[in-house]
Structure 1
Amino acid sequence: MLKKFLSKLGIGSANINLVLHHSQARLGETISGEFLIEGGTVEQHINKIAVELRLTLKQNGQAQTKTVATIPVASAFVIQAGEKKVLPFTYELPKTLPVSRHGIYYTFVTRLDIAGGVDHLDEDAVQILPPLPLEKIFVAFEKLGFREKATSGTLKPYGQEFAWFPTEQFKEAVQEVEFFALLEEEGIRLLLEVDVYAGAFGLQEKELKREIFFPYAELNDADMLAGKLRETMQEMIEQPHQYAASSYMTHYSHTSHLHGRGHSMMGAIGGFAAGMFAGMLVEELVGDAVEEALSFDEEAEEEGFFDDFFGGEDEEF
C-alpha cells in the first residue's frame, strides 16, 4: 500500500529515457533512437508515450519556446514492477524548420503519461544541421573568402536569414551578404541581398537584391558553384541600378506570381517556425494592447479612443 501511495507521488515510479543514435541530423533526414522504459516498485498503468520537438529562440536577452511537432509513440499499456521495455524511435525532420544556430536550440521532450501518478519527463538536446545543398552553398561562400556572421540564422517573418561578411576579394566593395534559401524539387533558390559600399568615400550603403537558382547537379562542383556566385555578385556590383531593392521587388512580385508562390515564402528554410513565432508575437502584442486599452476609464471610451486604436493603419513588426 505504501509503495502504491509513494508511486503516485513519483517516488519509485516508472521512468523513461530516450537514447538517440546521433544527437544531430540534417533537415529532411530521419533521426532515430530507442526508448528505454523501466517499471518502478509497483505495477502501473501508462496512458501513453509522446515526444515533443521543442524549439527555443533566444534573442535580446529573452527566450521563447514553442512545440513544433508532437510525435505519438505508444498508447495505453501496463508495466509491471521492475519490468524493462525497449521501443524504437524514428522521426523525419521537416525541411522548413530553421537550422541550429546561435540563439536557436532544439530539445526532444519525452513524456511517460502515468495514470493517477506524476508523469515522467526526459529531455534530450538535438542539433539540426543545414540540408546538404545549403551546406554546399556555405562552402562556396567560404571559398570566396566569406565568413558567417555571429548573428547569422536570425528568424525573419519569411524564414531564416543567413548573413556573411567578406574577408578577401570582395572586402573593398561588399559590406555583407544576406539570403533566404528555398529547397525546391530541382534545386535550391537563394533570395540574395548584397550590401555594397556607396557614396563619397564609401560611407553609405546600398542594398542590391537578386534571385538566383542552383540546380542540384551544379552543387556537386564546389569550384564551379563558387565561380557562379562570384560572377553573380560581381555583376550586381558593376550594374547596381539593375538590382536596386525597388526594381528587385517589382521583378520578384512578377516572377513569384508566375511560379505560383505569390508573396509567400513559407516554403523557405525556417519558414514554418518563423511564421509560428511571428504569430505568437502578434498574439502577445494584441494581448498587451487589449489589456492596456481595458485599463482606461470610461471617459476614454466615450471619446472614441478604441475606434482610433484599432482602426488605424497596420504596423510592420
Structure 2
Amino acid sequence: MFKKLLAAAGVGGAEVETELFTPGVQPGGVVEGVIRLRGGNVGQDISRIAVEFVTRVEQEYEDHEGVRDMGFGWTHVYGPLHLPAGAPAEFRFGARAPLETPITFYNGRHLPGTVVSVRTVVEIQGAVDAADTDPIGVGALPAQHIVLEALERLGFHLRSADVEAGHIRDSPQQLPFYQEIEFSGSPNYPQLNQLEVTFIATEHGMNVVLEADKRGTWFAEGSDVFDSLWVDYATLGHRDWAGELHHRVVGMTSRH
C-alpha cells in the first residue's frame, strides 16, 4: 500500500511503496526489493532514501519496563533528489541483515515474541518523513539450528523469544540488544525451572550464552546460573552438541 509523504505546504505530497523480493532471510543474508515513489501535486526535495531492519525491544527503566521498535542495519539507497509533481521513480536495493539479527523461525516454526521488519525511510526537506514497514521472516543459521535442536533432544521445550536492550558482557556483541530464546524445564534436569539461550553470531563462529533458572531447596534460595561456549562454524558438524550441552547444563545445576 502506498504511504503518503506530506508536502510542506499542506497540499498533496508524494507517495511511497516498498515491495520485497525476499520474504525470508537468514542473519548475514541480503534482502532485495524495490522502492516506488509517485510524485504528488507538488514537487518535493528528498534528502535521502534508506532502508533499515526493525525489531521490538524490551527495555528496563528505573521504575518500569517498556517496549519500543528499534532500527538497525541501516542501508543508504539513494539521494538527494528532486521528485517532480506526478513523476514516478523506482529504486532497487539490497540490504544485508546483520549477523546478530534476531531470528523469527526455527525448524519451520515461528518463534512467538519476536518480530523483524524492513522499514523504508524517505526524508523530505520541509515535510514529514515517511516510513513504509514490511514484516520479514528470519530463519535460524545452521549453528543456531543445531544448538536449538540439541537442547530439544535434552528434553527442553521451546516456549518463546524476546529481544532485550543491553549488552552481554565479554561477548563480541555489536548491536545494542540481544535475543533470548526461552525453553521450559526438562524432566532430565529437575533442578532447573527454565533455560534461556542467546546467540551472538560473528563471521566465523558464534558465542552461545546459557542462563538457567535454578530451583530453590530447603537449604538454598533459587538463583540464575550462567555458562557460555563458542561454536566454530568450521567444526560445526564434528562435535556431539547434545553431549556438550548436557555437560554444560549438568555443570550449571551443581552451582550455587
Larger Rg, first or second structure (1 or 2):
1
SS class of match (1:192) = strand
Q: Is the 8 A contact 2:22 2:32 kept in 1?
A: yes
The answer for the alignment partner of 1:308 in structure 2 is none
Amino acid of the residue matched to residue 192 of structure 1? L
The answer for the alignment partner of 1:260 in structure 2 is none
SS class of match (1:47) = strand
Q: Is the 8 A contact 1:153 1:163 kept in 2?
A: no
Answer yes or no: is 1:78 the counterpart of 2:78: no
Q: Specify which of 207, 210, 215 is matched with residue 227 of structure 2.
A: 210
The answer for the alignment partner of 1:92 in structure 2 is 96
SS class of match (2:184) = strand
CA deviation after TM superposition for structure 1 residue 198, in Å: 5.8
Answer yes or no: is 1:133 the counterpart of 2:143: yes
The answer for the alignment partner of 1:166 in structure 2 is 185
SS class of match (1:149) = strand
The answer for the alignment partner of 2:46 in structure 1 is 46
Amino acid of the residue matched to residue 199 of structure 2? A
Stretches of 4+ moved more than 6 A in 1?
none
Q: Is the 8 A contact 1:57 1:105 kept in 2?
A: no
Q: Is the 8 A contact 1:17 1:37 kept in 2?
A: yes
Q: What are structure 1's unaligned runs of at least 5 residues?
A: 1-5, 246-317
The answer for the alignment partner of 1:30 in structure 2 is 30
Q: Is the 8 A contact 2:57 2:162 kept in 1?
A: no
CA distance in 1, matches of 2:166, 2:125: 42
The answer for the alignment partner of 1:230 in structure 2 is 246
Whichever structure has more strand as a proportion of its residues is 2
Q: Is the 8 A contact 2:52 2:71 kept in 1?
A: yes
Q: Is the 8 A contact 1:10 1:118 kept in 2?
A: no
Q: Is the 8 A contact 2:207 2:231 kept in 1?
A: yes
Identity fraction in percent: 22
Amino acid of the residue matched to residue 214 of structure 1? V
Whichever structure has more helix as a proportion of its residues is 1
CA distance in 2, matches of 1:147, 1:115: 51
SS class of match (2:222) = strand
How many pairs were matched up?
232
Normalising by structure 2, we get a TM-score of 0.69
Amino acid of the residue matched to residue 229 of structure 1? L
Amino acid of the residue matched to residue 141 of structure 1? L
Q: Is the 8 A contact 1:99 1:153 kept in 2?
A: no
CA deviation after TM superposition for structure 1 residue 142, in Å: 1.6
SS class of match (1:150) = strand
Normalising by structure 1, we get a TM-score of 0.58
CA distance in 2, matches of 1:109, 1:39: 20
